[in-house]
């Protein structure tokens, strides 16, 4: 579903109180009962039902009575809007722009800060792929999903799990980016995060896969390869394996201060693991083989 931030213009504080109440309720309920929503939202003059109808109309919620009561859950669109509202309230962004990238597990948008600076918003979307695929690349997924299985996880619970797993993915990415940036790794500047969205600086350049080999010299290609390989080795020396080091996660700027030397920036960190991970050697070899295959 395409993001439509224009709905933010017509929303009032009570709308967000209800969304936040449902978010809290989803921690324990696949479908949150309307009386619980009213209790958690604690609106001074009531009116929860009217707000629920409005949020349903804007597709920020889904409604289900198959559980024997009026149950609600936040949709992906609702989670997006709730998070964008938080980022705007904290003055981390002032406006959101165009989508500039889409991946298997994320969407990337431009945004503008109150000072006019352009930044990037990365929306984590783990629900696009299967449980089996995510399990291969997300250690924190296994325990959460297994817990759900042991309690008889429903389809609605799986939907809730995707939202909260996307939140964990964003938190992990932000933490890794902040740690790496603090010790001078070439990463975007980590600006902030909320729920499933990470805010970072806009990096000049293009993903490596967009670089046409015939337009760069052998020296430039060699420089890109060695920078990327050195990053993998440097990460390993710091006890980390990227686990997805390929042409899609390396941003290349071919003109730093007018010089032809390519500058490589590393992105995408939520799948990183420790070198103590039982599959660390295999994952490191996969990263280096991906680089060799591209070049």
DSSP 75-102: -HHHHHHHHHHHHHHTTS-SEEEEEEEE
What residues are labeled active site?
244
Give which of 215, 294, 290 is closest to 255, Cα–Cα: 215
| CA distances to 14, 78, 109, 156, 268 from 29, in Å | 22, 17, 31, 9, 32
φ/ψ of residue 85, rounded to 5: -60, -45
Distance CA 112, CA 122 (A): 13
Burial grade of 9 (CB within 10 A; 0-12, 13-18, 19 or more): exposed
Q: Is 172 helix (H, G, I), strand (E, B) or coil?
A: helix
Give which of 136, 291, 277, 126 is closest to 195, Cα–Cα: 126
DSSP 30-54: SSEEHHHHHHHH--TT--HHHHHHH
């Amino acid at each position: 579903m395409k993001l439509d931030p224009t709905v933010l213009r017509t929303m009032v504080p009570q709308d967000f109180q209800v969304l936040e109440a449902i978010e809290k309720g989803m921690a324990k309920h696949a479908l949150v009962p309307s009386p619980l929503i009213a209790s958690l939202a604690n609106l001074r003059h009531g009116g929860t039902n009217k707000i629920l109808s409005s949020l349903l109309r804007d597709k920020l919620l889904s409604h289900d009575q198959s559980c024997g009561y009026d149950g609600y859950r936040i949709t992906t669109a609702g989670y997006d809007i709730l998070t964008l509202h938080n980022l705007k309230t904290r003055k981390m962004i002032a406006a959101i722009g165009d989508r500039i990238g889409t991946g298997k597990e994320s969407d990337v948008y431009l945004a503008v800060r109150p000072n006019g600076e352009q930044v990037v918003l990365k929306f984590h979307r783990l629900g696009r792929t299967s449980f089996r695929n995510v399990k291969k690349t997300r250690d924190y997924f296994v325990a959460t999903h297994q817990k759900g299985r042991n309690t008889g996880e429903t389809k609605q619970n799986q939907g809730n799990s995707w939202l909260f797993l996307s939140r964990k993915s964003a938190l992990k990415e932000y933490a890794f980016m902040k740690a790496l940036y603090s010790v001078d790794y070439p990463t975007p500047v980590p600006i902030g995060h909320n729920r499933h969205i990470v805010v970072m600086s806009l990096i000049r350049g293009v993903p490596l896969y967009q670089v046409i080999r015939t337009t760069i010299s052998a020296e430039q290609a060699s420089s890109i390869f060695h920078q990327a390989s050195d990053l993998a080795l440097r990460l390993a020396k710091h006890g980390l394996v990227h686990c997805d080091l390929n042409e899609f996660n390396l941003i290349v700027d071919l003109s730093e201060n007018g010089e032809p030397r390519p500058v490589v920036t590393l992105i995408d960190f939520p799948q990183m693991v420790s070198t103590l991970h039982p599959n660390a050697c295999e994952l490191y070899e996969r990263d280096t083989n991906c680089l060799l295959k591209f070049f």
